[in-house]
Amino acid sequence: MNRRCHLKQNMRAPLSRSGFTVLELLVTTGIIGVIAGLLLPAVQQARETARQIQCKNNLKQIGVALHNYHEVHQSLPIGYRSDATCDTAYGWAHAILPHLEQSSLAARVDDRAALTSPVNDNAREYSPDVFLCPSDPKLPTFDLFAEPPGTPTSTSSLVTVLTTLPSANYVGVFGNSDADATPGGLGEGTFLGDKSFRFRDLMRGLSNVVIVGERTARKLPSTWIGVALEGEDATGRVIGHNWIGPNRDDADECEFDSRHPGCTNFLWADGHVKAIDDSIDATLYRNIAQRR
């Protein structure tokens, strides 16, 4: 009798459950998705904030290097200096390498030879982190093609690769004019062709003149080392100009832009770094690029 009662009790006992039901799994997945949707933009914003801080720090280091260069040489570097053959030119950033703790890289560049000489092959494969904005995805190097056939400066009937150059994101300010379209490389800004300036030549005041700005690879791949002068937008690879405004789709490819939302970072002649809003007045934007 006791055994029969025991069996009846076992038969009536509820079955134990393990795991989730489909409904519970869907609800849990939905909650996780909502939380991820709320957190992801915040994480992305935090990462971009960190990248923008690093970008500004890069420009500050460049500013300190330019001031140290000026103290030693009593002038700023030339925007782009032609070699003995006048076929290639070395950019202003190459000149400040020793002041950026990049003396070993500077020693690998033989500026007595053409930039495209085999002795400079190794140097043309590397960019120090200080020249790279972390917000801009890009290849470490890019090919510089000859000016396309039919353009005013083209001397070739073929599209050829002249050289491969290391990527960079910071270019000197030439002024308001397009360097590739300005005879003699004489612009209104600080970094011109085969001509250097002293800080006292910036008569608008050092805190009122921008001398280096950002450019992304999506607009025009740029470099720190220099260019082959027969290349497409050659001088524009190391210098740029202020005309329409930063981050403008209708601007010339040699103007400035960034991956930072709504702004582009610039280095001013006194060494401070400030982001310029995309909505800046065009007249003011042009004025701050002028020496006088």
pLDDT tens per residue across span 18-35: 566 777 677 777 777 777
pLDDT at res. 87: 94
Q: What digits encode the pLDDT tens for the residues 161-173?
A: 999 999 999 999 9
Average pLDDT over residues 82-100: 95
What is residue 85's predicted lDDT score, i.e. its pLDDT?
87
Q: For every residue of 49-108, which 3-state class applies, written as one string?
A: HHHHHHHHHHHHHHHHHHHHHHHHHCCCCCCEEECCCCCEEEEHHHHCHHHHCCHHHHHH
Tell me the three state secondary structure of residue 283. Answer: helix
Q: Is the dihedral of CA 291, 280, 283, 222 positive or negative?
A: positive
Average pLDDT rounded to a whole number, residues 230-257? 95
Q: How would residue 194 be classed by pLDDT, with cut points 50, 70 and 90? A: confident
Residue 161 region, left (φ>0) first, then alpha (ψ -120 to 50), else beta? beta
pLDDT at 147 over 90: no
Asked if the model's pLDDT at residue 16 lies above 60, the reply is no
| Gap between the Cα atoms of 232 and 63, Å rounded | 28
* Most confident among 82-86, 114-118, 193-197 (mean pLDDT): 114-118
Residue 249: C-alpha distances to residues 125, 179, 234, 255 (Å)? 30, 19, 21, 10
Q: Within 10 A of 110 (CB to CB), how many other CB atoms are there?
A: 14
pTM: 0.83
On the question of pLDDT at 148 being above 80, the answer is no
What is the predicted pLDDT for the residue at 14? 53
Mean pLDDT of the chain: 89
Q: Is the pLDDT of residue 230 over 60?
A: yes
Mean pLDDT is lowest, of 24-28, 60-64, 94-98, 195-199, for: 24-28
In angstroms, the first-to-last Cα distance of the chain is 112
d(CA 277, CA 259): 13
Measured CA to CA, the distance from residue 172 to residue 44 in angstroms comes to 30
- Find, among 97, 79, 81, 77, the residue nearest to 89 by Cα: 81
pLDDT at 276 over 70: yes
Dist CA 241 CA 282 (whole Å): 12
Quick: pLDDT tens for 44-63: 677 888 999 999 999 999 99
pLDDT at 17 over 80: no
258 pLDDT more than 70:
yes
How high is the pLDDT of residue 7? 46
> What secondary structure letter does DSSP report for 291?
-
Q: What share of the chain is helix, strand, coil (3-state, %, to 5)?
A: 35, 20, 45
Interval 58-90: pLDDT, tens = 999 999 999 999 999 999 999 999 998 899 999
User: What mean pLDDT do residues 5-23 have?
Assistant: 56
Q: What are the residue ranges of helices labelled H in the chain?
A: 2-12, 22-73, 92-95, 103-108, 282-287
